[in-house]
Amino acid sequence: MENLKKLVGIKAAEYVKSGMTVGLGTGSTAAFFVEELGRRVREEGLNIIGVTTSNVTSQQAASLNIPLKSIDEVDTVDLTVDGADEIDADLNGIKGGGAALLMEKIVATYSKDYIWIVDESKLSETLGNFKVPVEVIPYGSEQLFRKFEAAGYAPTWRMNGEKKLITDMQHYIIDLHIEKIAEPEKLAKELDLTVGVVEHGLFNGMVKKVIVARKMGIQLIEK
Ligand code: 5RP
């Protein structure tokens, strides 16, 4: 599996050219992409600016001497490459397994091009195998949790040991366990309109290109 993730990470790095501002995703697959960019900066003099999507990725990129700017310091992001937790047949996706969904969605929103890199286990006909992470303001979040319970979304708190996990942006995450998300747009709209929700892990219609690592080889899915 690690080998497959590395393959797609390296493949996605081929889309990066000198002069680009590049969104750097979060997670074990995106880490291989960042590692490959670091190698090219070091060995080939690749000249890029990175915009990271989490503190973890910032640390990795800095350790590889990739020059970094924040999303507010750049005019635009040419390309962002990130992982995903689940992708349906229409290329809607769930992200946030690594608790970085808020920064990931912001960077993706301001990117001209956006690619996901995944292994084939992430593909499914309908979303719902993976929980939907919802990033919430701590104030009032117990109320929100009960609201999700009443709606039948089987919420659980994202934990860090004994304590509720605190995201890079100082929020909590509530994971919703909804078995079949037949209408991801409808659920996204509902969550968008829920007071106290900062962002959710439904990335509907945001990606046009997915690089999939299959045992048989690499597959490019384009919309
Ligand atoms: C982090 C994410 C990750 O991109 C997603 O969880 C995939 O990670 P991995 O490549 O480790 O499976 O959304 O918030």
The predicted complex's ipTM stands at 0.98
**Could you tell me if the CB of 201 is within 6 A of ligand 1?**
no
- Residue-level pLDDT at 103: 98
Q: Strand 49-52 relative to strand 21-24: parallel, antiparallel, unpaired?
A: parallel
The CA 83 to ligand 1 mean position distance, Å, reads 5
Cβ neighbour number for residue 10 with a 10 Å cutoff: 17
Sheet containing strand 197-200, strands side by side: 156-157, 172-176, 132-136, 197-200
Is residue 99 within 8 Å of 167, Cβ to Cβ? yes
Task: Give me the catalytic one of 36, 86, 104, 199.
Answer: 104
- Residue-level pLDDT at 2: 83
Is residue 141 within 8 Å of 57, Cβ to Cβ? no
- Residue-level pLDDT at 179: 93
Q: Please state the residue numbers annotated as binding site for substrate.
A: 26-29, 82-85, 95-98, 122
Which of 6, 28, 105, 210 for mutating ligand 1's site (highest number of atoms within 8 Å of CB)? 28
**Could you tell me if the CB of 38 is within 6 A of ligand 1?**
no
Is residue 118 within 8 Å of 86, Cβ to Cβ? no
User: What are the φ and ψ backbone dihedral angles of 54, each rounded to 5 degrees?
Assistant: -170, 165
10-residue mean pLDDT profile of the chain (223 residues): values are 92 98 98 98 98 98 98 98 98 98 98 97 97 98 98 98 98 97 97 98 97 94 95
Q: Which amino acid is at 217?
A: G
User: What are the φ and ψ backbone dihedral angles of 148, each rounded to 5 degrees?
Assistant: -65, -35
Which of 24, 85, 114 for mutating ligand 1's site (highest number of atoms within 8 Å of CB)? 85
- Residue-level pLDDT at 92: 98
- Residue-level pLDDT at 62: 98
**Could you tell me if the CB of 28 is within 6 A of ligand 1?**
yes
**Could you tell me if the CB of 53 is within 6 A of ligand 1?**
no
**Could you tell me if the CB of 29 is within 6 A of ligand 1?**
yes
The average confidence (pLDDT) of the chain is 97
- Residue-level pLDDT at 1: 75
- Residue-level pLDDT at 27: 98
Is 86 catalytic? The answer is no
